[in-house]
Structure 1
Amino acid sequence: MANELKKSTKMLADHLTNAYKERQGVTPLTELEPELSIQQAYEVQLLMIQREVEAGKQIVGKKIGLTSLAMQKLLGVDQPDYGHLLDDMMIENGGQIDKKKVLQPKVEAEIVFVLKNELKGPNVTATDVLLATNYVVPALEIVDSRISDWKIQLQDTIADNASSGLYVLGGRPRSIDQLDLGQIGMVFFKNGELVNTGVGAAALGHPANCVAWLANKLSEYGITLNAGEVILSGALSAAVNAEPGDYFQAKFAHLGEVSVRFDK
């Protein structure tokens, strides 16, 4: 049974890898393996990340997905998930995204924590997160899916590195003790038009709750959040579809602005 599970995990990881190589969406993993569990989906993700690291990429942080009610409703799920950030995922603030880097991107705005101390679950609290944080900045996350037409269940997005794509850090670093992150407002623009608003409390009541959830979830896999890691804490509103030529900008109270443009 263990060998069958290992074989299935490799097969599903190969399935997603092929989507990256061919730059074309693939069949949902939950159609290939209807009994795919959340646990096995994370094992697929970890195998994918292991392959990336072996190929020379570095893990620089984590992302938490599906933290807002808006995103959970959008994808029909009832719990968060997480993925890994690699060193080739970061885009410069105000920069441009090569269309070859994405398949079917969506953009969302969120608050990023940069750690000064490690966080090791279980039993990490929001207070622990605040004490371990060096600073926060605003960010745009470009979520993407290797599953055709975003026809995903929770297991699909987990296996696909929590539908990670790219991310942009903006604004200016702010100390955590200067802010009430739960009350920070955000306005989100696409091509100069207001498309979304949000507040820090949209992410599990407070962005630090998201990071605490992450640290505790990672403990199930023997993973620790390390000093220096970048943590995308979750969208403050629903993701917005991106097309070639689109320009996105988010403005956060007290944190500043972050923007990115997609190449035509």
Structure 2
Amino acid sequence: MSAETVARTRARALHTARATRTAIAPFTDENPELGLREGYEIQRELIALLLADGDRVVGYKAGLTSKPMQAMLGVTTPDYGPVLASTVHPDGARIDLGDFIAPRVEAEIVFRLATPLRGPGVTVEQARAAVGEVIAGLEIVDSRIAGWRILLADTVADLASNGAVVLADAVPAKPDDDYRLLGMAFSRNDELVATGAGAAALGDPLAVVAWLANTLGEHGVVLEAGQLIMTGALHAAVPLAPGDSFVAEFDRLGTVRLDVAAGEGKP
């Protein structure tokens, strides 16, 4: 089979896994040499299938933005995937575990762009100028790869392991805000389980925005006004269990909450 046919076949496997909530074996089991390029080829084919289903891309997420996560997968750069409209929930959302396979949750800083960014060549200061709003966010990461046995190509193909996002009310961005120093306390069932600061995301969350603009720009993709930019976890992801409540309290951004229900999910 041609490389294009292989990518489409693997994308269809992921598409089915998402629809049925049934994990599949890592692609790197079959081909340990599978790399970043092949992972993004599969991702593009999967996005096409999801858009054909009626979904929309409303932004982008960056993953592997912290040094510990990069070290765990043996990489030195973040990865990215789309944020789909169907996965965005408001503050206080009640999440059904049956809608996921192996979900974990993490707190992160989310930006909404006021003006487009077209890379390559975007600087951190240009990224700052393009940001219109800042949002406290909770990302549910999920893996359609069995047991989270992922190498880089697996998670890239799987939309950077994106599952869902819960967003608080947006706060207007201020030109002098230093998002590196923006602190966060993360609690499960009223018990503090993690803390973090903006600098955990590539040293500066705005650097994540610039990186995304430049990386996507190499493929002719523009970050558009109004799009969400998820800048990466500020702490290690935490598993979800039935009845859990999670709250992230952000300096200057306020709080964002999600509750976990147990259920069968959608058929």
SS of residue matched to 1:135: strand
- Amino acid aligned to 2:33: E
Q: Which residue of 2 aligns with 1:132?
A: 130
Q: Which of 5, 8, 16 does residue 6 from structure 2 map onto?
A: 8
CA RMSD of aligned residues (A): 1.4
Query: How far is the alpha carbon of 1:73 from its aligned partner?
Result: 4.1
SS of residue matched to 1:128: helix
Residues 83-92 or 15-24, more deviating = 15-24
SS of residue matched to 2:129: helix
Q: Which residue of 2 aligns with 1:217?
A: 215
Counterpart contact for 2:189–2:245, Cα < 8 Å: yes
Query: How far is the alpha carbon of 1:75 from its aligned partner?
Result: 4.5
Question: Structure 1 CA distance, aligned partners of 2:51 and 2:168?
Answer: 26
- Structure-2-length-normalised TM-score: 0.94
Query: How far is the alpha carbon of 1:114 from its aligned partner?
Result: 0.3
The answer for unaligned runs of 5 or more in structure 1 is: none
Question: Structure 1 CA distance, aligned partners of 2:189 and 2:70?
Answer: 25
Q: Which residue of 2 aligns with 1:53?
A: 51
Q: Which residue of 1 aligns with 2:103?
A: 105
Query: How far is the alpha carbon of 1:71 from its aligned partner?
Result: 2.8
Change over 3 Å in CA distance of 1:118–1:172 after alignment to 2: closer
Query: How far is the alpha carbon of 1:44 from its aligned partner?
Result: 0.7
Counterpart contact for 1:44–1:159, Cα < 8 Å: yes
Question: Structure 2 CA distance, aligned partners of 1:59 and 1:171?
Answer: 20
Runs of 4+ in 1 over 6 A off after TM superposition: none
Q: Number of matched residues?
A: 262
Counterpart contact for 1:70–1:238, Cα < 8 Å: no
Query: How far is the alpha carbon of 1:21 from its aligned partner?
Result: 2.8
Counterpart contact for 1:77–1:153, Cα < 8 Å: no
Question: Structure 2 CA distance, aligned partners of 1:215 and 1:172?
Answer: 21
The answer for unaligned runs of 5 or more in structure 2 is: 263-267
Percent identity over paired residues: 44
Question: Structure 2 CA distance, aligned partners of 1:187 and 1:124?
Answer: 31
SS of residue matched to 1:177: coil
- Amino acid aligned to 1:121: G
Q: Which residue of 2 aligns with 1:95?
A: 93
Instruction: Give matches, 1:90-239, under 5 Å.
Output: 90-177=88-175, 179-239=177-237
Question: Structure 2 CA distance, aligned partners of 1:177 and 1:219?
Answer: 24
